[in-house]
């Protein structure tokens, strides 16, 4: 970079901005940003999935309206009876006895082995086989050899909270919520001979027999095939509720991971994920994080760029016990085994654990870690906040957790920033949580900070401690503004029976710099009377994006705003406000989890990824928020003399690198400054720039990370010696106007 290029930021943004032009034209500037386009995620299954989340656990399979846990002695078939079903109703199916010609066949426990849509288990005298379809499971008993050629009799034990009723072709197991059919038994030999068989039911065992006559003629292997399906004869079951998304991003190249809950029943939440590229195109089929009989109740995700992996964490409930679990996903969609992060009797302290959140690390080095925060129940009505770090390979850094705060007051709803990095030297995650007073009549917001290697470096300190109810806090990654680091914490502020969205700015030391009521600031408070809930926030390295859900009077919409903090007067400024994300008429749109591109790369960028859920359509969406409408970043003003094309690239936003070039091999350059208009006095050419400085062609410019530059309009015009338009020697280009975002 030459001396002129190095002085451009100083010349333009100290002298020029402070001074301002004495004459100017009215530039044609870029339009106001439009609402981001919605990208609908299509997380429907196109094929049966298999998963073994624990090495010592069963093999799980899932279709559209069933899932099954397959082990060495049988399987548990779990029908989907609707998300509103009070609990799961598994039907356990296992062999009780097998005989050939009246002689019992020896059975031993085996190991379930999955291969595509088929699972086989060697039981010694026969092989159990499951052929899995999206809406049915075909169970087979395969006899590769027989001790004799007498009749083959199979007795199956089927148990569950059902009433079994024999039908013409099998048994239907039903309760008040739905039914499962066990029907259509067929005997098939290797030559293709087929015999339909009845299924007898005695109230606890199903009996199927292949007559000796068929067995004598059969070519081995001989196969017996009954079929299982949910709600036989009825329309497919309703879709599972899809709720509470979260997302994270890693860069190089971009991968976004969106996770969410699918409700199998009222006591069983499954967890799924989708990966997208930077254009929000899905890169893999839906990824099963958990569809076992564990319930993943509060899911969150963060990324580590070095390992190109994500960690999904959740409160996991089973059998009246709650613990913190997790699972890694690689950028290519591979999953690791389930991780017990904090679980009574397994790792960490005894007791219940709830509501985790996780932060990641965008730095490209092998020591990058995840940090997980959660609530630990110390006693009735008394929870404290703990944290633990997880390596990028899924191993725990320590078996015992670290304490953020222990207090006789109730500490709940912790959140942690997506990234621990900043432009300054104080790299750290920000943690914010909700604290009840002793009488549980007031909720405050409290914070702390953790460095990349797991030390608690600041806090606890108060963030919002008024007498009002301040709840559901969310913490941003750090922003570096004029050389100092700040983070934003947003939360719900109860105001006259409805909630506002508040935003407080906190420094590295925990000092409170600014307190703002976003609901009051936006649109001059016109919408403050509406209930605004579920806030989230992240930083692009310079400013903050704040999302929330707002009740319109008939349903909830999701919105997002861009907010800047100005250290000179400790104030908040709204740059873009109330951009609609989800606004489906008549149905509720909820949740706006946000992850800045900065949080996945540590490179300043105005780009944010935002997820949401449409309750009425029961679907998910992801948005790319933060830039102008494509093609509208630079607006030309007609000043061209001669033939000198000018081009520009890059988004003119804080922290971004933009470039300008001229299509000429002659000695050339640019004038950069404010919009202006004057004749050169020696020819008819016009200069469209006032108070300009000259820079070479091509020119690359890193826009300074100063929020005070937002909405400043600048202009650039090219010149070239060796042209013919002015004095037969100089050509000028059109002038490009651009607004710094």
How is the chain split into domains, by residue range?
3-33+629-739, 49-230, 244-625
Cα dist from 419 to 67, 206, 527, 594, 705, whole Å: 36, 57, 32, 12, 18
Successive 10-residue mean pLDDT values, the chain, 741 residues: 35 34 57 64 86 96 96 96 95 97 95 96 96 95 96 97 93 95 95 96 96 96 91 66 95 93 96 94 91 97 95 97 98 96 97 98 88 94 95 96 91 96 80 87 94 93 94 95 91 94 93 94 95 96 94 95 92 91 90 94 84 91 73 86 92 86 94 91 88 94 84 93 87 93 80
pTM of this prediction? 0.88
**Taking a C-beta distance cutoff of 8 angstroms, is the pair 420, 452 a contact?**
yes
Compute CA distances 155 → 97, 98, 208, 409, whole Å. 5, 6, 7, 58
d(CA 440, CA 423): 40
End-to-end alpha carbon distance in the chain: 25
- Cα 555 to Cα 529, 550, 578, 583, 587: the distances in Å are 15, 8, 16, 9, 6
Nearest to 451 by CA among 541, 349, 527, 359: 359
Tell which residue, 448, 449, 453, has the closest CA to residue 397: 453
Query: Which string of b and e fits 264-303 if b means at least 16 CB within 10 Å?
Result: bbeebbbbbbbbbeeebebeeebbbbbbbbbbbbbbbbbb
Residue 4's pLDDT is: 33
Alpha carbon distances (Å) from 206 to 155, 184, 198, 561, 627: 6, 13, 10, 62, 64
Quote the CA–CA distance of 653 and 630 in Å, as a whole number.
Answer: 14
Separation of CA 194 from chain center? 50
Task: Dig out the tokens for 398 from the structure.
Answer: 């320590």
Of the candidates 531, 589, 521, 614, the residue with the CA atom closest to the CA atom of residue 561: 521
* Confidence at residue 680, expressed as pLDDT on a 0 to 100 scale: 81
- For the chain, helix (H) and strand (E) counts, in that order, are 4, 56
Predicted local confidence at residue 21, as pLDDT: 43
Residue 588, classed as helix, strand or coil, is coil
Residues 6+ apart with CB under 8 A from 320: none
CB neighbours of 681 closer than 8 A, spacing ≥ 6?
A: none
Helix (H, G, I), strand (E, B) or coil at 520: helix
- CA angle 62-295-315, nearest 5°? 135
Q: How far is CA 492 from CA 119, 356, 436, 500, in A?
A: 49, 19, 14, 6
Q: Which helix (H) or strand (E) holds 734?
A: strand 730-739
Cβ proximity of 609 and 597 under 8 Å: yes
User: Could you tell me the two tokens for 21?
Assistant: 């032009």
| Other beta carbons within 10 Å of 467 | 9
Domain 244-625: assigned CATH number: 2.120.10.10
Phi and psi dihedrals of 518, rounded to 5? -60, -40
Which pLDDT score is estimated for 19? 37
Please give the Cα distance from 654 to 603 (Å, whole number).
11
The tokens describing 160, both together, are 């569950």
What is the Rg, in whole angstroms, of the alpha carbon atoms belonging to the chain? 32
**pLDDT of res. 630:** 47
What residue ranges in 552-696 does DSSP mark as E strands?
556-566, 571-582, 589-590, 594-596, 608-614, 619-625, 634-637, 646-649, 657-662, 668-679, 686-696
Q: Which two tokens stand for residue 517?
A: 């009521």
Helix H, strand E, coil C: the string for 98-146 is: EEECCEECCECCCCCEEECCEEEEECECCEEEEEEECCEEEEEEEECCC
Cβ atoms of residues 586 and 616 within 8 Å: yes
Predicted pLDDT at 16: 32
**Closest by Cα among 484, 502, 710 to 606:** 710
Residue 402's CB: how many other CB atoms inside 10 A? 16
Q: Is the peptide bond before 221 cis (omega within 30 degrees of 0)?
A: yes
Task: Map residue 709 onto helix, strand or coil.
Answer: helix
């Amino acid at each position: 970079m030459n001396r002129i290029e190095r002085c451009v930021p100083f010349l333009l943004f100290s002298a020029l901005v402070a001074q301002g032009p004495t004459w100017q034209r009215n530039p044609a500037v870029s339009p106001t940003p439009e609402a981001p386009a919605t990208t609908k995620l299509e997380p429907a299954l196109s094929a049966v999935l298999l998963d073994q989340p624990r090495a010592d656990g069963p093999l799980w399979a899932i279709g559209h309206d069933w899932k099954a846990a397959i082990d060495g002695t049988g399987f548990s078939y779990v029908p989907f009876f609707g998300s509103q079903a009070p609990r799961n109703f598994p039907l356990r199916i296992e062999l009780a006895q097998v005989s050939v010609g009246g002689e019992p066949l020896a059975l031993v426990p085996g190991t379930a082995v999955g291969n595509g849509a088929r699972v086989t288990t060697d039981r010694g005298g026969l092989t159990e086989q499951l052929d899995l379809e999206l809406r049915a499971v075909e169970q087979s008993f395969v006899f590769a050899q027989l001790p004799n050629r007498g009749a083959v009799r199979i007795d199956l034990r089927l148990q569950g909270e059902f009433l079994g009723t024999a039908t013409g072709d099998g048994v239907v197991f039903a309760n008040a919520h739905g039914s499962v059919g066990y029907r259509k038994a067929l005997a098939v030999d290797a030559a293709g001979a087929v015999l339909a068989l009845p299924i007898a039911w005695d109230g606890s065992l199903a009996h199927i027999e292949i007559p000796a006559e068929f067995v004598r003629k059969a070519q081995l292997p001989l196969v017996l095939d009954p079929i299982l399906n949910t709600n036989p004869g009825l329309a497919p079951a309703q879709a599972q509720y899809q709720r509470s998304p979260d997302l994270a991003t890693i860069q190089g190249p971009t991968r976004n991971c969106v996770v969410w809950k699918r409700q199998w029943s009222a006591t069983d939440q499954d967890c799924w994920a989708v990966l997208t590229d930077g254009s929000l195109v899905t890169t893999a089929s839906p990824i099963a994080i958990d569809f076992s009989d564990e319930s993943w109740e509060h899911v969150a995700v963060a990324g580590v760029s070095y390992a190109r992996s994500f960690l999904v964490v959740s409160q996991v409930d089973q059998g009246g016990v709650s613990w913190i679990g997790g699972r890694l996903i690689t950028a290519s969609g591979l999953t690791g085994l389930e991780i017990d992060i904090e679980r009574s009797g397994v790792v960490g302290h005894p007791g219940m654990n709830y509501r985790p959140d996780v932060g990641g690390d965008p730095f490209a080095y092998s020591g990058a870690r995840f940090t997980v925060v959660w609530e630990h129940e110390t006693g009735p009505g008394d929870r404290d906040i703990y944290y633990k770090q997880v390596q990028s390979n899924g191993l725990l850094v320590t078996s015992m957790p670290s304490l953020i705060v222990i207090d006789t007051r109730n500490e709940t709803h912790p959140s942690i920033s997506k990234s621990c990095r900043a432009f300054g030297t104080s790299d750290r995650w920000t943690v914010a949580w909700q604290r009840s007073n002793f009488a549980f009549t007031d909720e405050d917001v409290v914070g702390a900070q953790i460095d990349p290697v797991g030390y608690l470096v600041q806090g606890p300190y108060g963030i919002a401690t008024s007498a009002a109810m301040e709840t559901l806090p969310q913490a941003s990654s750090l922003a570096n503004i004029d050389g100092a680091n700040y983070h934003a914490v947003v939360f719900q502020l109860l105001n006259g029976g409805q909630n506002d969205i508040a935003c407080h700015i906190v420094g590295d030391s925990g000092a409170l710099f600014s307190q703002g009521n976003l609901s009051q600031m936006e649109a001059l408070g016109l919408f403050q009377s509406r209930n605004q809930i579920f806030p989230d926030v992240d930083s692009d390295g310079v400013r903050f994006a704040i999302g929330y859900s707002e009740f319109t009077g008939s349903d909830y919409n999701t919105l997002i705003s861009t907010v800047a903090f100005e250290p000179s007067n400790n104030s908040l400024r709204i740059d873009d406000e109330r951009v609609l994300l989800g606004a489906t008429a008549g149905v509720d749109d909820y949740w706006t989890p946000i992850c800045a591109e900065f949080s996945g790369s540590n490179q300043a960028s105005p780009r944010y990824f935002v997820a949401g859920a449409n309750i009425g359509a029961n679907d998910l969406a992801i948005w790319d928020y933060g830039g102008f409408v494509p093609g509208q970043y630079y607006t030309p003003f007609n000043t061209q003399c001669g033939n000198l094309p000018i081009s520009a690239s890059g988004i003119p936003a804080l922290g971004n690198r933009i470039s300008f070039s001229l299509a000429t091999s002659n000695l050339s350059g640019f004038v950069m400054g404010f919009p202006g208009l004057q004749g050169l006095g020696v020819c008819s050419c016009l200069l469209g720039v006032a108070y300009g400085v000259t820079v070479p062609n091509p020119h690359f410019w890193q826009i300074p990370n100063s929020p005070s530059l937002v909405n400043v309009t600048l202009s650039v015009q090219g010149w070239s010696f060796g042209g013919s338009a002015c004095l037969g020697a100089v050509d000028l280009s059109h002038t490009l106007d651009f607004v710094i975002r």
